[in-house]
Every structure is written in structure tokens, then in C-alpha cells.
A and B are shown apart, each in its own frame.
Chain A
């Protein structure tokens, strides 16, 4: 057992580069998958938190009568929902100096629909008022500003004592007027239950359900309950609005749902790339371990204990990569969350949320890595030790489809013929590289496309950050896959490289032999990535109702594949030294 563990330990040491490659790809994948996936979760959690802390009303019942609700109607509602759960209010929209002003008049420090004080103080006298904060659609006042308001008979001067945020208006876009069709509110003033009107009128009743847990960010149970309640209100001439009609909270929830759906695309893509990287890396690793495996087999070690070494290898790499991804994933979630600030006044980032998406992404990745490793391990291990002791037969040369088009094939130089054959011969590597480079190109394009749009937006800081993160991750993905594939090619063709050197090929020519294939695949990926990226970007812009393709600069389309190819070139060049340091004696050695 001790010797077995020793040899396992040495395998880790020998395969350190491959180990680190897998750690890195799992780090990148889980980080992005969890980071993007968790956004919806966090936003819904924040909505739920906010709903509870501000006691956001579930229903707003508006009277359509000039005189508002009668005392009998209010008693009915008090009886139906409980006196503590309703809040009466008066509101109307009026035009002063060409500006539409909404005036609320109710008990301002009420427990229902708590106004968040952003600046100043709550009113201490009847002549002090609160005003709504400035947003993209709403203008505001300064604390201490004087406002003259008239009820049609007398005019009074009020002083702004504080600036607040109304939980029902957490979005930053225009707030439609209830009295003036197709017009928007310019300012909102909150009177502190003063005798502003000659007679007291109540035209809004806020209803806050006693059970604050039921909402759960627009859960199904909540929807049923609200629909039942709405239809059970036996009043005439009223409009009953629920949180489903609230533009702010509901659209935030919907938007988060859309981000959640886009996350699925990322999950599928990264899962595919990770599985391919793990597959190609582990296949090569196992090929290099052939004689070790044969030795263990002849000594009578069971298949389980042999394959187990590689399962431990992949699990350990996955766990390390996954743990590293935890912090990065959370950072990405925070960043995307803060991007919502452009359209919504976001509540603070919720802390106490279980990392559901992180665990999910990690488990999906871990499972698929284990499955891929086990399958390739079992495939190799079912060979007899005698077969394993002989070297793996080289991939037999084969004509590729392109050779049937003599017009194209014959015009290719000899070096390219060789490269094209290899490119199309190793199908899973071709697929892995092209898919990753397409993904990388799409990420760069999304980043730059977002940047082009972001620079046209106010409060664009977090969008610029997102663009930067997308480009950084595109670079990481590209670097990882290209480094990995180049490394595999070099170790697999060690003998060919040594032979070329003996034949008198220069360092540049020899490395070109390896790099040319990588560049052909990257070129295909980068070129295919542009139209696919266009489609993706158009879909995303439409889906999240932000940005447009027409805002994307023309040169972004050209610079994107160039950036991807630069990423490829840099990552492959990292291995130039390894190629030229190949020992020529490798060509003389026996096959092993």
C-alpha cells in the first residue's frame, strides 16, 4: 500500500502541468457558471428582503370616485384585512408650471410602505414635506427648498425637510401619470397627513398582508393568493393593483429571470468546453501512464485501484479549482448585481444566501470530469498488460476531405497540407479548440459590444467593469485551451519534433510545424465566432432590453477576431521554448 501511494504521489508530481491545467479550467468554468447563475438568486433574495424590511404593500386599492372611499368602505377593508394591515392615503397628479407633480398626503412614518430617508429628516410640522429622490425620469428638490402649493382656494408655502425613496418606485425610469395620459411625473411631494384639502379624502388604500413570508419573491403560492384576494374584494368603482403591476419590483424580478436564462447558455458552453479539456488532457495523461498501468496490472492491482488513482487526481484538481472559483464567482455576481443599479435602486447585496448555484455548477462539472476520466480509464485498462507495454500506435495518416478538391489542395504549400491533415484527423481536439475559440470570440465581442453601448449610458461604471471581466475571461479561456492543446501536441509529437530537428529544420520551422495547426483551428474559430457573436449579442440586447447592435462600432467586428488571434498567439508562444528545447536524441530512442 505504501509503494502504491508513493507511485500515486509521483504521478501527481510528474503530471503537475496537466493537474494545474485542469484546476485552471475548472476555476474559470465554475467561476463564470456560478457567478452568472447566482445573480437571479441574489436579486430575488434582495427583493424578498426589501419587501419585508420596507413592508411593501401587496395590494393598492384605488377608488375611482371623486370623493374617494366612504367610511363604510374603509371599515369593510379594515375588517377584511385587519386594521393594522392597511394604510389610507390620498394622492393626485397636478400640473404646476408645465410640470406634472404627484402629491401624496398620508401618515408618512407609517409602518406600511416605509419611505427610505436618503437625506434630511422626516417632517416635524405640517408645513414640512418630503420629496422623492432624483432618478433618470424624476426631477427633485434640495433639502430646505420652498415649495408653494395651492389646493385651488388657498396657497401655502412648504419646506422640504428630507429626500426619500418610495419602495414602490425603485426603478429609475419614468413614472407614468395616473391623471394625464401618456405623460410622466416630474416631481413627487409627500405631505405629512396635513389638512391640505378642505375635506379629508382617501382615494388609495395600501394593504400589507400579515404573512410576510408568503411573498418569497413572486412565488407561485403568492400569485394564487393574490389573485384570490383581488377577486374577493367586494367594492364598486375601484382598481386593485398588486405587486405584479408594480413596474419597479416586478420588472426587476423579470429581468433577473432573464439573466438566469442567459446563464443557462453559459453553463452549457462551459460544461462542454470543460468536458472536452478534461477528456483530451486525461486521455493524453493515461497514454503517458500506459507502462505504469501495465506494471500495476501485472502485479495484480484491481481495475478499481488503478482507475481510482486518476479519479483521485481529477477530483482533487476539481476541488481546488472549485474552491478558488468561490471567491471569483461571488465577485462576478456582485458586479452583475451592481449593474442593475443603472435601471433600479438596488437594495444592498444580500449576504446570507446559500451558494446554491455554486454548488450546482461545481457538482455538474465534478461529475462530468469524473465520468470522462472513468470512461477513458476503463477503456484503456481493459487492454491486456502486453498491449499496454507496447507503445500506442501513432494515429495513421489519412487523406482528408479537402484533398478531393485538387484545385484547393494543390495550391496549398506542403507544410499546410501536413497541418490540415492533422487538424481534421484529431476530431475531438479540433472540436474543442474551435468551440473554445468561438466562445472566446463571442465573449470578446460581447465585452466590446457592451462597452460601445456602455459608453453611451449614464452610470456606466459597472457596465465597463462587466465588459472588462468578459474580455479577461475570454483571454483566460483562450489561453487555457490553447496552452493545453499545444502542450498535448508537443508531448505527443516529441519524436516528430526531434526528427525534424535532425533533418535540419530550424527552431522557427519546427515550432511552426506545431503552431500552424493551432493557428488554423483558431482562425476557423475566430471567423465563425463573429457571426455567432452577432447573433448572441442581438439576442441578449433584445432579451434584456438594453443596448443595440447599431451602437456597436464597425471596427469592433474587425478587432474582435484579431484580439482572439492575439490571445492564441501569446498562449501558444509560451510553449516555444519547450519545443526548441526538445532533445534530438528522442528521435533515436526506442519507442516508449
Chain B
């Protein structure tokens, strides 16, 4: 059994206009320590997939098994606990609390989590050791995203989900952030999933899942991913 396994996952939204299938029979398997890119244009179903993997919504049918637990069967309370302990989330716009310092923003996640790592150590590891007491408004975009990543990995999650993590950053900063995420997957042996519409990222991933109109178009496996610094977009 794979670390993360999706089988025939379908998500439908019902409205007065009729039923809309946002995801149609999605099936794939991912292993721990992999760096995965989910690629697709807007409206392809990336956000829906992210919602299901992140425990923010239930699938209409199919199963999503992470580390032997089927999260597609979880109720609201289980899902909250799942988000609390098992998923690290990195947002496009960082979503830091403006009134909390960098350190406190990381503590925001570790405080409610049992097996959390030391927030100070994590911030040091993302090279923000001297920015612990700064508020988000005092940090650059790249620094804010590093706090966001630190917040996501400090809880020692089973899965790191990143939604367009470089979308709001300049080219160089974007690259350093991707490098950081890549090293998390390799050095800490985590499954890192990056959702993006940026085609250039496909070369750096172990696996690339192409999604289109709600179904999986194809899955590419890179035997030798390109180092991030060689990728250009």
C-alpha cells in the first residue's frame, strides 16, 4: 500500500443549474519523501483536490488513504483533528496573523499539536533565526513565505500541501522557496505536494500529476529531477 493513495475520487457540486463534477474518478499513489507537482490550468479542479487532500472537504465518492487512514470517511471533528496534526499547509499569500510575530505564528500551529518540533529551531532552519520577534509587516514576501513554511513543517505533518507557493513572489525568491520545499521532502523525508499552474515546475518534481477538466490527464515520473536553480520560467 502506498503512503498516499487516491482511488476513484469524485467530487460533485450540486446547484440549481445541475450537477457539476469538479473531480472525476481521480486515482493516483504517492510515496513518502516524494516531491510532487500537481499541474493544471485554472478551473481544472486543483483547488478541489487540494481541499480534499487538506481535509477541508469530503469527497462525494472514492477513497483517500494517507498512512493507512481513510480520510474520505472522516466526519467534521476527525477532519479538524487531521488538519491539526497531519497536514501542513503553505498558502499563496502566506496567511500569517498580522498581529503575531514570526515565532508566535509558528507557535500558532505547534500549540495545538502533540508531536510538534521546536518553533525556534524550525525558524532557524529556514534562516529566520534573527527575525523571530518581527511582525509580518516587517518581513519581506520571501521571509513571510518562509515563516509560513516553518509553520507548516513545525507540526511535523505527514503531508505538506503547498498552494501556488511562489505565486506572490519574485523569480529569485520563488526559486529559494522551492528549494526549501524540496529540501524538506528529501532531508526530512516528507511527502510534499505543490499545486501550481506554472509549467516550469514540472522538471523539478519526482512526479507530475497533470489535471484537466476534473480528471487526471497523465502522471509523469522524473527519474532524474532537475535541480531547481537550473529551471527557468
Contacts and interface: CB of A to CB of B under 8 A. Distances in A.
A502 B112 contact: no
B95 interface: yes
A588 B98 CA distance: 17
Interface stretch (B66-74, B101-109, B173-181, B203-211): B101-109
30 contacts: A393-B137, A395-B99, A396-B98, A396-B136, A397-B100, A397-B136, A398-B99, A398-B135, A417-B104, A418-B97, A422-B99, A425-B99, A502-B89, A502-B95, A503-B89, A504-B80, A504-B81, A504-B84, A505-B84, A509-B112, A584-B57, A585-B47, A585-B51, A587-B91, A587-B95, A588-B50, A588-B92, A588-B163, A590-B92, A590-B93
Contacts of B91: 499, 587-588
B54 interface: yes
A499 B95 CA distance: 7
A555 interface: no
B83 interface: yes
B109 A421 contact: no
Interface string B28-52: 0000000000000000000100110
A353 interface: no
B83 A418 contact: no
A397 B112 contact: no
A504 B47 contact: no
Interface in B122-162: 135-138, 151
From A396, A501, A503, A509, residue with most partner B Cβ within 10 Å:
A503
Interface of B: 47, 50-51, 54, 56-57, 80-85, 87, 89, 91-93, 95, 97-101, 104, 107-109, 111-113, 135-138, 151, 163
Given A397-B101, A398-B135, A588-B91, A503 B163 contact: no
Given A502-B54, A502-B56, 14 more contacts: A394-B137, A397-B135, A422-B99, A499-B97, A500-B108, A501-B56, A501-B80, A503-B89, A503-B109, A504-B81, A504-B84, A505-B112, A509-B112, A587-B91
A501 B113 CA distance: 14
A414 B51 contact: no
Given A395-B98, A417-B104, A502-B54, A591 B93 contact: yes
Contact of A503 (B50, B51, B83): B83
Nearest to B85: A504
B47 A588 contact: yes
B140 to A, nearest CB: 14
Interface in A383-416: 393-398, 414
A591 B108 CA distance: 22
Nearest to B100: A418
Nearest to A398: B135
A587 B91 CA distance: 8
A316 to B, nearest CB: 33
B129 to A, nearest CB: 19
A287 interface: no
B139 to A, nearest CB: 10
From A495, A502, A504, A506, residue with most partner B Cβ within 10 Å:
A504
B77 to A, nearest CB: 8
A504 B83 contact: yes
Given A502-B56, A505-B112, A414 B107 contact: yes
A418 B92 CA distance: 23
Contacts of B47: 585, 588
B98 A502 contact: no
Contacts of B50: 588
Interface string A560-592: 000000000000000000000000110110110
A587 B151 CA distance: 15
Contact of B111 (A397, A414, A499): A414
Interface string A415-432: 001100110010000000
A425 B89 CA distance: 28
Contacts of B87: 504
Interface in A467-511: 495-496, 499-506, 509
Contacts of B107: 414
Contacts of B100: 397, 418, 421
Contacts of A500: 108
A233 B101 CA distance: 86
Contacts of A421: 99-100
Nearest to B79: A504
B128 to A, nearest CB: 16
A496 B92 CA distance: 14
A503 B135 contact: no
Nearest to A395: B98
A506 B135 contact: no
Contacts of B151: 503
A495 B94 CA distance: 11
A499 to B, nearest CB: 4
A327 B102 CA distance: 55
A89 B155 CA distance: 99
A414 B85 contact: no
Contacts of B137: 393-394, 396-397
A588 B113 CA distance: 22
A457 B92 CA distance: 69
Given A584-B56, A585-B47, A503 B108 contact: yes
B121 to A, nearest CB: 18
Nearest to A499: B95
Contacts of A584: 51, 56-57
A213 to B, nearest CB: 66
A93 to B, nearest CB: 77
Nearest to B87: A504
Can you list the 6 inter-chain pairs with the closest CB atoms, starting with the nearest?
A504-B84, A397-B135, A396-B137, A504-B83, A499-B95, A397-B99
B38 to A, nearest CB: 14
B95 A495 contact: yes
From B84, B93, B98, residue with most partner A Cβ within 10 Å:
B98
A300 B71 CA distance: 53
